Amino acid sequence: MVPPPPGAPPAPRRSPEEADLAPLQRWLRLPRPAARPGVWRTGHVPRPPEDPDRLSDRELHGGALLAALTAWLVWSLYVNTGLFSWVLAPLDWLGARGTFLGPYLYEQLLFCGLLYAFGRLGNAPRLWRRWRPTVLRLWSGRPDIERQDPGLTLRAVAALAAAWVVWELSYAGIWLFWLDPFYGMVPESWWRPEDSTAYTVAYNVYYLLYALLLLALCGALGGWRAVLRRFPPARFTGAEVAGSERERAEVARLTEFTELREGGAGPAAERLLAEVAAGTMSDLDYARIQRAWRTVVARPTELPAFNDAVAESGAGAFVHPSGDRDLPVRAARHDLLTRQVRIGTAVDEERNAYEYRGVDVALDPALLGTSLLAVGPPGSGKTGRVVRPVVESLCLQALTGQAAVVAVGSAASGLGPDAAFDIVVRVGDPAGTHQLALYGAATDTDEAATLLAEALLGGTPAETRDASAALVQLIGPYHAAYGRLPGVPELRAMLDGAPALLATLREDLALAGAHDQQRELDARERASTRLDDPGKPLADRLAVLDRAGFSAGSGTRTFSMATLTHPLRVRVDLPATGHAEAGRIITRLLLAQFTTAVVNRPDRSLFATLVLDDATAAVTAGTVRGLAQLRAANAGAVLALRTLDDVPSELRAGLLGAVGCRMVFAGVTTWDAEHFAHVWGTAWTEDQDITRTPDRTGGIVRKTVRGVRRLFTGRDTTTDSVTVRKVERQRWSASELAHRVPPRHAVLSTTSAAGEPGPPVLVRLG
């Protein structure tokens, strides 16, 4: 069952047809139109084109009300007084004053002219355009109704007006031809006495038949049947069922498994349809089976296996290796068809782009594939309102076989319960089931040394190339002698120059015949005597890892980024607060390993994501280069920072350029905001300059009034001169980002993996 999101409004009243639908069917019938990057597509209603001369609601409705009251006053004066009797003068000119039909038709034309004139004065067309989507949605219950053809409605309204005119003429006794057939059919005896029962019944029946005939004729001329098909009332059809042929075909594909039937999986489609009707299939089951079917479409030889799996397990087919068919809890609102997670609502104000105002904002792999950088002070909502929903969404997608996620944070971060993950790595916990691989997925000694040097000294002014050369002079001989890479204690001892260990290593290298590696050891021994040798800083950093218990639980299994070719859910808990420096080293190590491993994956079908709840000191020159390559590897990273001061100054511009999605939370400093204001650039806007000058115009009366006003108020009367010009201004200035973003809000800009950018939008989180 698809549970309602937390804090959701009451479910709308549904038609009898919808009441019989299963929750999953109602969810599948929700419209999901194409939208700009970052827009929540489920139930989204595209805004009408922006009106450059748009009036405010108060001005529009107030003007319409004033025009209506004025029109009513003028018509009342004409009907009840002789004040406007001169308007009947054209009847005297035409000689039609003495007839009955002439004044009646003239009054109708006069009424229509009055209605048209005051309707134009009251901006009736603008009022209708503003209220038309709401009225039609209330009538039909369909959120996409404003996309229908307005010409069809105009023709129907014109036919309705013609029917009203004919009815008025007939009812007023002007056109009596329609009564001739009645008097020819009714016996004369029915007329006497007057108003006999037979006469009254016959007259009313004939009256009704005439009305139905008039409605049928005008309905045929006005195309009312087409209007009812286009704008069906909510009581006739489901409120969420699309109207066009293409949309109905898409709904049938989703709810009736027509694609499976056409592809040769008819029995599987029948089984799944029965599961949907019974309510035993969830949205996650549906997304998982759809993903399995896409595999069959790509490889038709898998069709028999697909049919067998569905016939055996139904909605439980192709389940995740963990056996989980859902998460223990969902704290955010998800749509697994579009793979989106809702994080908030764009504020309806002028600082936001018109098409984003008032719409829900969401993140999905198409956006996270360009990586996300979120900057905000503690308590601004980074973890609870962005990081946690993103991790939860990726875990759901991992259960459908579409993603792999590694979430890194402290034990108190609240990235999700243990049951929501397949692997939980607790660094420094001897009772943990897994430990981290020091070298990741690297098998080459040079690559392993480079990754380790990046993690150990990437946050310091030391040169990582010299550190990598020093490490490879020890890792290479150790690997040649023992066939494996050294652990933290062994590598630390060799960097400290332990005589017994190095002597044993030389003997083992001699036995293995690796004389070239002996020369590497000699070179390391000579370099260790220099004052600028990176060996001692490397040993000190390894000692920090050793004290934090990086290698605790040596008998446990090892996790490395090489396993991200499978739909895994991994959470890494960093050491406790007493080992903050070790946590920063591990964060750098994981980021460096991730950017290297996902780029070298042979199979990139899974979307891989690394989420760092605290990326303090994690960004290095190597990881910035790696972040720029993730988009092409179907991978992305989510980096949360308290401030950009946690990034070396020479890397801040490169980091902001490497990520496609940028997010600034309330409470950032002005110097942090300057970087984002510069990245988001400028836009053309209208600027108004108002010049006020003392008013010296008018005669003695106006001057006297101005003098009295100045005497009591102490202010001169001025005239305003307004100059409007187009200027180029920053989309969001540093001052606005630092001081005008309300609490629990953030400014988000997005870029899709296809390269479509989105403007910075002020979002109310939650």
Contact in structure between 638 and 382 (CB atoms under 8 Å): no
Distance in angstroms (rounded) separating the CA atoms of residues 205 and 211: 10
587, 549, 335, 329: which is closest to 435 by C-alpha? 549
Three-class DSSP labels, 561-584: HHHHHCCCEEEEECCCHHHHHHHH
Half-sphere exposure of 625 (CA within 13 A, CB side): 7
* DSSP, residue by residue, 369-383: TT-EEEE--TTSSHI
pLDDT of res. 21: 74
Distance in angstroms (rounded) separating the CA atoms of residues 631 and 677: 24
Contact in structure between 260 and 266 (CB atoms under 8 Å): yes
pLDDT of res. 447: 86
Degrees to nearest 5, angle at CA 493 with 492 and 497: 115
Q: Beta-carbon neighbour count of residue 580 at 10 Å?
A: 17
Paired residues of 558 in beta bridges: 435
616, 587, 731, 681: which is closest to 382 by C-alpha? 616
Element (H, E) at 441: none
pLDDT of res. 371: 94
pLDDT 10s digits, 363-392: 999 999 999 999 999 988 899 999 999 999
pLDDT of res. 82: 60
Sign of CA dihedral 33, 34, 36, 40: positive
Q: Beta-carbon neighbour count of residue 114 at 10 Å?
A: 16
Structure tokens at 558: 């090892």
pLDDT of res. 284: 92
* Secondary structure class of 598 (helix, strand, coil): helix
Degrees to nearest 5, angle at CA 365 with 359 and 368: 85
Contact in structure between 422 and 381 (CB atoms under 8 Å): no
pLDDT of res. 2: 46
pLDDT of res. 13: 43
Structure tokens at 291: 């993903």
Q: Beta-carbon neighbour count of residue 223 at 10 Å?
A: 17
Element (H, E) at 120: helix 101-121
What residues contact 248, with CB distance under 8 A and at least 6 apart?
A: 241, 242
Task: State which residues of the chain have pLDDT below 50.
Answer: 1-17, 94-99, 143-148, 234-243
pLDDT of res. 241: 41
Distance in angstroms (rounded) separating the CA atoms of residues 251 and 641: 42
CB-based burial label for 228 (10 Å; 0-12, 13-18, 19+): middle
Provide the b/e sequence for 628-653 (b: ≥16 CB within 10 Å).
bebbebbbbbbbbbbebebbbeebbe
249, 256, 66, 33: which is closest to 145 by C-alpha? 33
Return the beta strands (E) in 128-262 as ranges: none
Alpha helix positions (H), 461-573: 464-482, 488-495, 499-512, 515-527, 535-547
pLDDT of res. 545: 86
Half-sphere exposure of 423 (CA within 13 A, CB side): 25
Element (H, E) at 724: strand 718-730
* Secondary structure class of 361 (helix, strand, coil): strand
pLDDT of res. 97: 46
**DSSP secondary structure code for residue 387 in this structure:** I
Structure tokens at 278: 């019974």
Three-class DSSP labels, 685-748: EEEEEEEEEECCCCCHHHHHHHHHHHHHHCCCCEEEEEEEEEEEEECCCHHHHHHCCCCCEEEE
pLDDT 10s digits, 421-444: 999 998 887 777 888 888 887 878
pLDDT of res. 607: 93
pLDDT of res. 39: 93
pLDDT of res. 697: 76
* Secondary structure class of 456 (helix, strand, coil): helix
For residue 9, which phi and psi values (nearest 5 degrees)? -70, 165
Contact in structure between 750 and 372 (CB atoms under 8 Å): no
The phi-psi region of residue 529 (left if phi > 0; otherwise alpha if psi is between -120 and 50; otherwise beta) is: alpha
